[in-house]
Amino acid sequence: MTLTLHFHPLSSYCHKVLIALYENATPFEGRVIDFGNAESAASFRALWPVGKMPVLRDAARDRTIPESSIIIEYLAQHHPGPVALLPADPDLALRTRLADRFYDLHVHDPMQKIVGDRLRPDGVKDPHGVEAARERLRLAYDLIDADMADRLWAVGESFTLADCAAAPPLFYANKLLPFGNDHPNLAAYFARLSRRPSYARVLAEAEPFMKYFPG
């Protein structure tokens, strides 16, 4: 098979790319990376020394593509499908990229800070950093709730890269810091994301691993 995705079923950034692949029914082989296995970890770092997932390998074009947003744009360019996850209109494409960055930087990152701290051993935890991350999430929730008052998806009426970016961190963030009754538009948006067949499939495939999530 031409495309191989190196990923882990619990990784939120990997979920982001899986959503895009499933949206367009793009054929690929999934290769689960186990950093607890020396051979698996070494093989992955030989492919991408930075050692962060996901990474897409396109054997037909002899290309190795890291970073979730870049992978999705690469797929749109070289393996397009019926769902245009990056709009053709330049202004809308820019709004989509901005929303993608917003979810990565202001939802994904603070969510992962909280998760990472829960995995730290006692004595080296960072309560100040965790509270700062929770404050960032609260601000992000407020902004998303306001944005979603009058739209179906992250940047309008069409499902895009931005929605691929939004669903995974919102899923985990809601477990750590629930949206609550103060964010009805955000909660409704996440409910729509959860019903999207591509993301529902990602969650179903991740379910056996959810017991390892420190939420």
Report all structural domains of the chain as residue ranges with CATH numbers, in order of start: 3-78 (3.40.30.10), 90-196 (1.20.1050.10)
Q: How far from 26 is each of 30, 76, 213, CA to CA, in Å?
A: 12, 10, 28
> What is the per-residue pLDDT for 65?
98
Strands of 55-58's sheet in order across: 29-32, 3-7, 55-58, 63-66
Give the residue among 116, 22, 141, 189 at the shortest CA–CA distance from 14. 22
pLDDT tens, the chain, 215 aa long: 699 999 999 999 999 999 999 999 999 999 999 998 999 999 999 999 999 999 999 999 999 999 999 999 999 999 999 999 999 999 999 999 999 999 999 999 999 999 999 989 888 989 999 999 999 999 999 999 999 999 999 999 999 999 999 999 999 999 999 999 999 999 999 999 999 999 999 999 999 999 989 87
Q: What is the pLDDT of residue 81?
A: 96
CA angle centred on 83, ends 192 and 53, rounded to 5°: 80
Q: Helices (H), strands (E): how many in the chain?
A: 9, 4
* CB 66, CB 7: distance < 8 Å: no
Cβ neighbours of residue 137 under 8 Å, at least 6 residues apart? Answer: 107, 110, 111, 173, 176, 177
What pLDDT sits at residue 20? 98
pTM for this one? 0.96
Q: Give the per-residue pLDDT at 1.
A: 63
pLDDT at 15: 98
In sequence order, the β-bridge partners of residue 5 are: 30, 56
Q: How much is the pLDDT for 215?
A: 75
